[in-house]
Amino acid sequence: DAELVLPLVGLQSLLPAAERAANWEDLLSQEQQQRLSFARVLLRGPSLAVLDEPLASLDAEEASQLLQQLPAETAVLTLS
């Protein structure tokens, strides 16, 4: 659920907008869009996550922190 996952990826401030507007995703920056895409991966909990330039707009430390949110049993394939 969004209330649980958005804070994990630093997007807790978007919860009110997500509840109000149908097109709120169109208003996001590239960094926010990447964080949101990653949040969707966390919500689905896949056994394999294929990530195309994941979190490229974040610095290395932030990206590493987000990747650590993935469950240990999730295999990650990164394309760059």
User: 9-36: buried (b, 16+ CB within 10 Å) or exposed (e) per residue?
Assistant: bbbeebeeeeeeeeeeeeeeeeebebbb
> How large is the average pLDDT for residues 60-64?
87
User: Residue range 55-64: average pLDDT?
Assistant: 85
* Every domain of the chain and the residues it spans: 2-79
pLDDT digits (tens, 9 = 90+) for 21-51: 666 677 788 888 888 888 888 888 889 988 8
Mean pLDDT of the chain: 81
